Structure 1
Amino acid sequence: MRSKQQIIATYDTLPADRSPMDSVMAAINGLSEGPPPVFVAVDLLRPYPIRDLGPPDWLIVSVGSEQSSSFQANWRDVIRVAPQEASVVLLSQGNILDVPHEVAQHVDLTGWHGNGLDRRIDSVARRIAGGTSIWRQDDVEGDALRRGALIHVGDGTTMLNPKLLVKIVDLSLSKGAQRVIRQQNIIYVGDLVQMTEAELLRIPDFGRKRLGEIKAALQNLGLMLGAIIPSWPPENFEALLGDRDAAEKLVVQSRHLVDWVDDEPFWL
């Protein structure tokens, strides 16, 4: 039985008579065990984290088709600024082009006419009510790939991203951010990416400005916070650090492979 109370952020661009949001929320409430989830509506004027609740576990976004009116134009921005530990579910009423890579599950509800028992809504509700993270618990490898910590090697297998071996001192961070991170005994990027936004914000004297610095620096490397790395540190850690030529070759290879991974549709 799940004992943790979930925080679920919602962003609805559809009018009440066409939106599935109420049906999804009712289904989640009906299936949840333990403390009932907290639903909080968010938008760009009400940023994360949500009041004193902290970052949400889930973000549910409801949109119309790509051809719908412009009042829903900012939904991609709401997803873009969401905390990285939040699993994003996109519910659409029709075709959506260029689904953001942050979306973990995209559900097309074309043909839904207000039936709260729709199997697609039931599937989303069961996953959320069970407290099951689409990436972090169901598929550790898929989550690490999505966050850049692992890369494909072309034959169906994966490897650690060599950029995890970069030292924090080599990142373009302010002296203040470097100092705070160093005090936490975080030496390599591979140590840093395994921390969540919430964990970093709990560090004294850290703050959102320094969090933004770190996220930007990691983004330049194609990485995200909150990764679970199955084999960190690697067994041949010292050898990898000492073999500069091999590491450089792997970094060159990873640039190509990460681009290829980003083109893959990791949402369900």
Structure 2
Amino acid sequence: MNKNRMRNWIRPMIQISFFIIVMLISIAKALSDEGMTVPFITNASLHAICPFGGVVSIYTYLTDGILIQKIHSSSIILMYAVFFMTLLFGPVFCGWICPFGTFQEFIGKIGKKIFGKRYNHFLPKRLDSILRYLRYFVLILVIYNTAASAKLIFQNVDPYYALFNLFTSEVAVAAYIILAITVIASLFVERPFCKYICPYGATLGIFNLFRIFKIKRNQKTCISCDACNSSCPMNIEVSSSNTIYNHQCISCLKCTSENACPIKDTVILRIGGGKNEN
């Protein structure tokens, strides 16, 4: 296996590893509730390993010094850890770690085989660009209602929670419905939940405006082949910018010269300058 093919496998292997870890933790927790134990696997709940729990708890944590129902202190620690990582490299949590993002990519592979080049290009660009801001409305709604009720409101509609709790009775019907819609939508649009709904993706996407390591395009060596554009799962037009500040970037690095761009050192991740840099 050559170096390029090995590099192409790094991200999928990391994604699959985190997906398996979360699935095993979820199964172990379900079994522990039934009085059974799984050797070598902690019985931590999904809430304990979810950094978004820290985000929705931040108001009650700062004002009253308490966490909302079901959230663990580990969520606060994970929240800060992910924020630091995102400040450096952008939303790598979304592109490399999040198991629900990985799940959508798995479903998307089926959609790509069915629709070919039409996949991920069904929605009109104008409608698509408007829908991408919906997740910020969801973020505000979730934080406000969680702070007002001191309860984990988002769990009732969270497809990620539904996916990893299919074998329990804790999931609300609404979460199953949204999970089913996400699965179907993933056959037509890559990462639809990430693009349009995910409140945590909205939170981390803001970091793209001031992240330290940026995805940059060398205009002088670019041959305008659009390989970077077609490889981007979030439909970002990489070729139209010298530095990617788009709030939808998930730092998957699929557009870079190590993956899609055929010209060496043309699209790269590095410490960037200002927005006017060429």
Greater fraction helix: 2
Is the TM value for this pair above 0.5? no
Give the structure-1-normalised TM-score: 0.29
